[in-house]
Every structure is written in structure tokens, then in C-alpha cells.
Amino acid sequence: MSKIKSRTAVNRRKFLKIGLLGTTSTLLGSRLLTDAVQAYAQEKPETIAFPPPVYRTLGRTGLKVSVIGFGAMLTPEPEVIRVAFEHGVNYVNTSRKYMSGKNEEIVGKALKGYRDRVYVATKIQTEINTPEAIIRDVEASLKALGTDYIDLIQLDANADKDRPFRPEPREAFERLKKQGKVRYCGVAVHKDPAGVVNALARDATRFFDTALVAYNFKSAKDVGDAIALAARSGMGIVAMKTQAGGYATSAGESAHQAALKWALQNPNVALAIPGMRNLTELKEDIAVMGMPLTASDQRVLERYGATVEPYFCGLCGKCEGGCPGGVEISTVNRALMYAEGYRDRGLALSTYREIAETAGADRCLDCLQCVARCAHGLDVAAGMERARQLLG
């Protein structure tokens, strides 16, 4: 991993005065806050030339959303989110789980004064399943966000790919809609994106309005095909993990922008939600609105793709059938990506701990030889070993 630098590393080099904003210091006290405050001190929003915003329709919800939404999972500073709102970004994505529940509070602070012009998307916790527990969870989100409605509530489809098709979450979401607490329902798809999105597209009930899908220039073709089918069925497609893990690279300064442009060139994608820690990253991501993917971008992506090749897992889950130990390889790899790519140890650990004890990378310790084969040539055993070292 030593050759790969997170894009926040650039900000860390230039140390400036810390502590001016301080809104989340008591919550986090981490390097994330340091990064955000440093970047904010270096680059005042009024000096940034923001482009005119570009909007697309989010499927059958009819919502007109900015093609760059604010992925808040890594953002410790509400002011960064507010700058985005001020410049036309009208969609913010958070989750109960990010920053151990504090991320929704940060988004809630950012929403003050902007609630009527911004769409709020959040997720329920992974491990809850009864209608009553789901309703309580959404009510906790409402409280943390300081709002009385959520525009888009999302259900995670992780290890349990059938979760969106079970009656309990649907009953809970239906009740919440009737109470005016949520407007639209979506699914956050992690494992087997092609399979789950295809199933959602073919779901005759049309219960879910949107799919939040890992989609990037490294995605397998079947993911793009599934997205096309879902978009044709009327679902709004929200692209996440557009940067194939968030690894910075020597491929060029614009690699992250090229990756975003690549996702947005697909007209079936309504918006992307890159995670933005600070103003520098906001400026970098927001700049792609309205910009076409160029031949130069394609060349940058080829180089970037080569850099991430040894680490990139498409989360398809195809290797898991070959593992006699029943290891949740795709989820382990996702946690690993949060650790190595995003450099977010908290998120990596919380994701890793969602895996049942019997399906974690520790199972590999009893295995003489790895027989799980990655459909895309990834060294499965090496990934499980790194996960154990970093997260076990």
C-alpha cells in the first residue's frame, strides 16, 4: 500500500492554524477534522470558482438533483457541506453508521437554513429487521438530522441480498411514508450489484424508487447493464464508489475528476455522491459538473486503473461460493477498501464488525490453501491477510 496515497495526504503537508471552526472537535478529535480545518483555513470558499450546477431527474421520484451530490460519510465539518449547498449541490447522503452515528448530526448542522432546498438521503442500520426497530431507527435519524422528514430512506442490501424483498422493511417504510416521515425509498446495494439491481428492476411492485450502486470505470459490464435496466424501469440511479476505492495515484492530478466524469457520462446515472472531506475535495469534485469525459481522461483512467488493480474488488461475491470456510470475502474487501483507500478506520472497523464471526477473515487461519478464485484476478488470500492485519 505504500505507493498509494489518499488524496487527503496532499492537504496534510501544508499545516496551518487549527481550531477556528471546532464544531466537531469534541465529536471526532481525529485527523479527519485536522484535514478539514486545515483545508478550510487555506482556501476560503469565496476564492473558489464554482461551475454552474447541472441537474438530472432521479428516476420516478421526479426530484431534480445536482449530478454531484454530497457524500458526507467522511466530512467532519458542516461548513464544507454548506458551501456545497450554497453553490447548487442539492443532495446529501449520510447514514446512521457513519462516524458512529455522528455524521447525521454533522449533516443536521449543515442543513440549518437550507432544509427546504436540499434533498436528504440516509440509511437505516444494517442489522435491524423488525418494522418497529426500523421505525425507531428512522426516528433516531430524524432527530439527529434535526428535520421532520427524510427525502430518501435507504435499505442496505449487504450479506442478505434478499433484504429489499422481505416484508418487514417494506411495512416499516410504508408506515413511515404514511406518517410523512419519509418521502421515497431506495436500496443501497453493496454485494452483487448486478444481481441485486437486476432483481430490483424486475420487481413488479416498484416499491423502491432508487438504487445506490457502486459504479465506476472498473465496474464489470453487467453492472452497467443492470443500471440501464433499472433506469428503464423508472428507478433513479445514484452512483457511489465512483473512484474505485478513493486511492490517489501518480496517474495524474485529475484522476479523481476523470473517474467522476466516467460515471456521469452514463445517462442512466442520475447523480454521483463522492465523499468530500474538505473544500479542496469539494472544489475538485464539483468542478466536473457539465464537463465531458475526454480522451485525456480515458488515458488517466487507464493509468489509475493499473494502480488500483491489485486492490480493487467489484464486490460481486462470485468468489464466495468457492470458499469452504464461508468467508464474506466481498464485505471483508469492502472494509479493507475503507481502510486502505478512504483511510477511514472507523468506517472500516464498523463494516468489518458487521460480518458474522464465523464469516470473517479469521476463518482463513484454519485454511491450508486458498481455493476461492476471484473472477477478476484479485489475490483473495492476500486481501484476507491484509484485512486481518488491519482490522482483526
Strands of 210-214's sheet, edge to edge? Answer: 70-71, 91-93, 119-123, 150-157, 182-189, 210-214, 236-240, 271-272
Q: What is the radius of gyration, based on Cα positions, of the chain?
A: 20
Quote the least distance from Cβ 116 to ligand SF4, whole Å: 41
Interface with ligand SF4 includes 313 (CB under 6 A)?
Answer: yes
Piece in contact with ligand SF4 (CB under 6 A), picked from 75-83, 205-213, 260-268, 323-331? 323-331
Among 135, 315, 335, 337, binds ligand SF4 (CB under 6 A): 315
Among 371, 382, 389, 392, binds ligand SF4 (CB under 6 A): 371
**Residue 41 or 220: which CB sits closer to ligand SF4?**
220
**Residue 118 or 370: which CB sits closer to ligand SF4?**
370
Interface with ligand SF4 includes 269 (CB under 6 A)?
Answer: no
Quote the least distance from Cβ 98 to ligand SF4, whole Å: 23
Among 41, 128, 349, 374, binds ligand SF4 (CB under 6 A): 374
Interface with ligand SF4 includes 384 (CB under 6 A)?
Answer: yes
What is the C-alpha separation between 369 and 364, in angstroms, rounded?
Answer: 9
Strands (E), 106-234: 119-123, 150-157, 182-189, 210-214
Enumerate residues 6+ apart whose C-beta is below 8 A from 142. 148, 149, 150, 181
Interface with ligand SF4 includes 4 (CB under 6 A)?
Answer: no
Interface with ligand SF4 includes 310 (CB under 6 A)?
Answer: no
**DSSP bridge partners of 275:** 71
Is the distance from CB of 276 to CB of 227 less than 8 angstroms?
Answer: no
- Quick one: which of 330, 392, 333 has its CA closest to 363? 392
Piece in contact with ligand SF4 (CB under 6 A), picked from 151-159, 198-206, 274-282, 328-336? 328-336
**Residue 134 or 159: which CB sits closer to ligand SF4?**
159
**Phi, psi (degrees; rounded to nearest 5) at 277:** -85, -30
Residues near ligand SF4 (CB under 6 A) are 313-319, 323, 325, 327, 329-330, 333, 363-364, 367, 370-372, 374-376, 378, 380-381, 384
